[in-house]
Amino acid sequence: MKTLKTGYEYLFCFFYNSVNKVKGNILVQFKALFMVLGLEILFISSFFCYGIDIFKFDVPQKPNTLFILMFIVPLVGLKLWFFERNENWKAYLLEFNALPEQRQKKWKLIMRAIVFFVIANFIFSFYLMSQIDWKQYR
């Protein structure tokens, strides 16, 4: 569990350092949190696509607002609690930047692989959805 929490913190630091490369960039922390949130939404959405394809869930014609809020509000709340409470993100960033260069490179490679996997997984789930005969759902 500690490794998962550390990886989550380093994912934020990876995005923070990526966004912060441009001088004079504002709202860097917000952008990094938004990128982590977007990655999580892609990850969850791919499982919904797999559920539609594999388990033949009913596909609603119009998404229910309550259904969407049921997933997004807890994700945003978790981000705010995990990073904003007592400004924990500063401690995570200092810890990540204090690592030796070799370990930073290792973690950056791991974070790039995770981002690639999540995006590729999302694209593959949409590819599987494109193979469905949608005429049976009308």
Percent of the chain with pLDDT over 70: 85
pLDDT at residue 123, as a whole number: 93
| Residue 65: pLDDT over 80 | no
| Residue 33: pLDDT over 70 | yes
pLDDT at residue 117, as a whole number: 95
Confidence of residue 93 (pLDDT cuts 50, 70, 90): confident
Secondary structure (H, E, C), the chain: CHHHHHHHHHHHHHHHHHHCCCCCCCCHHHHHHHHHHHHHHHHHHHHHHHHHHHCCCCCCCCCCHHHHHHHHHHHHHHHHHHHHHHHHHHHHHHHHHHCCHHHHHHHHHHHHHHHHHHHHHHHHHHHHHHCCCHHHHC
pLDDT at residue 116, as a whole number: 96
Highest mean pLDDT among 64-78, 96-110, 124-138: 96-110
Percent of the chain with pLDDT over 90: 14
Mean pLDDT for the stretch of residues 20-37:
83
- What Cα–Cα distance (Å) separates residue 6 from each residue in 13, 14, 123? 10, 12, 27
Task: Round the average pLDDT of the chain to a whole number and report it.
Answer: 81
Q: Which residue has the higher pLDDT, 47 or 4?
A: 47
The number of C-alpha atoms within 13 Å of 99 and in the hemisphere containing its C-beta is 18
